[in-house]
Amino acid sequence: MMIVGIICKRGKKEAVELLRQLVPWLRERAIEVCIDSYSAREIEEPGVAQEDIAEHCDMVMVLGGDGTMLAASRLVAQRNIPIFGINLGGLGFITEVSIGELFDVIEKVITGKCPAEDRIMLNASVIRDGKTLATYTVLNDVVITKGALARIFDLEMFIDGSYVTTFRADGMIVSSPTGSTAYSLSAGGPILYPTLHCFVITPICSHTLTNRPIVVNDNMVIEIVVGPGSDDVYLTLDGQLGQHLKEKDVVSVKRSEHMTRLLIPCERDYFQILREKLKWGER
């Protein structure tokens, strides 16, 4: 029997209403459900802690926006099970399916008619005085910025041990192809096709106008060193996790050994998504 895990955006009324319809619809098709404990309480069903859902299911459905999807990708990465996103948020670059088309698409997903795309993930480590303080695995991006006061600061960059340059900027973004349509795009970075094997490094408001985004192979290791006199510097991961950095801290970014497997609606292609979400061709 197929087991489907369901993770909902907390505090989202639409997610709970959809969950009430989705659970019996799946059970009618002999599919067992495993709901995150918070959402399960909302519909008076037994649930499982979010961090344990991946251990109990064959695929995960996410009811929410891209933020909920990013959190889910970190939960299931080590299990290599596919994720299907249902968009209840805003843009929805990763959660591609709307409520109106939901059940038709799910029918194709559960019968294996929709393809899965493997998306690379980033592995980011914080190194201080030669010791690794923390390591994170994320789908979208690794961002280094100042805290409350937006002042430029120095970031020294090395790629595969070779010195690149010292950026004077408001910050730096290292993004996966999936994350290229997130913060990196807002900072002037390019859109990368999501299944490419590369990273984009995007300076945020660089003091030197010739410092432009750089695209590198995903087998390279990027090291960013926080420059002297840099106070209140913060590392943010997927816009959801983070920690403070100190002068001379090193943020090392490389490709993770884990991938995110996204189930893609059969009729969709990436350029259609770009046209819809970015309003290309509209006047």
Q: Which of 12, 196, 205 is nearest to 95 (CA)?
A: 12
What is the pLDDT, as a whole number, of residue 28?
94
Residue 96 pLDDT? 63
Active site residue 218: no
b vs e for 30-66, b when ≥16 Cβ sit within 10 Å of the residue's Cβ?
A: ebebbbbeebbebeeeebbebeebbeebbbbbbbbbb
Angle at which helices 13-27 and 102-110 pack, to 10 degrees?
40
What pLDDT does 43 receive? 93
Please tell me the predicted confidence (pLDDT) of residue 82: 93
Residue 270 is given by DSSP the state H
Instruction: List residues bridging with 91 in a β-sheet.
Output: none
Provide the pLDDT for residue 235.
97
| Domain 121-258, CATH | 2.60.200.30
Q: CATH 3.40.50.10330 in the chain: give the residue spans.
A: 3-115+264-278
Longest dimension (CA), the chain: 62
The 3-state DSSP class for residue 229 equals: coil
pLDDT of residue 94: 67
What pLDDT shows up at residue 149?
A: 62
CATH homologous superfamily of 3-115+264-278: Probable inorganic polyphosphate/atp-NAD kinase; domain 1 (3.40.50.10330)
What pTM did the predictor assign? 0.91
The whole-number pLDDT of residue 151 equals 74
Distance CA 269, CA 233 (A): 39
The boundaries of every CATH 2.60.200.30 domain in the chain are 121-258
Which one of the listed residues 36, 52, 58, 66 is annotated catalytic?
66
* Distance separating alpha carbons of residues 218 and 159, to the nearest angstrom: 11
pLDDT of residue 132: 97
Residue pair 164/180 in contact by the 8 Å Cβ criterion: no
* C-alpha span between 178 and 199 (Å, rounded): 10
- Token pair, residue 57, equals 């299911």
The predicted structure's pLDDT at residue 148: 64
Query: pLDDT (tens digit, 0 to 9) for every residue of the chain, 283 residues total?
Result: 799 999 999 888 888 999 999 999 999 999 999 999 999 999 999 999 998 998 989 999 999 888 899 999 999 988 889 999 888 866 666 666 767 778 888 888 888 888 889 999 999 999 999 999 999 999 999 999 987 666 789 999 999 999 999 999 999 999 999 999 999 999 999 999 999 999 999 999 988 888 899 999 999 999 999 998 777 899 999 999 999 999 999 999 999 999 999 988 877 788 888 888 788 887 7
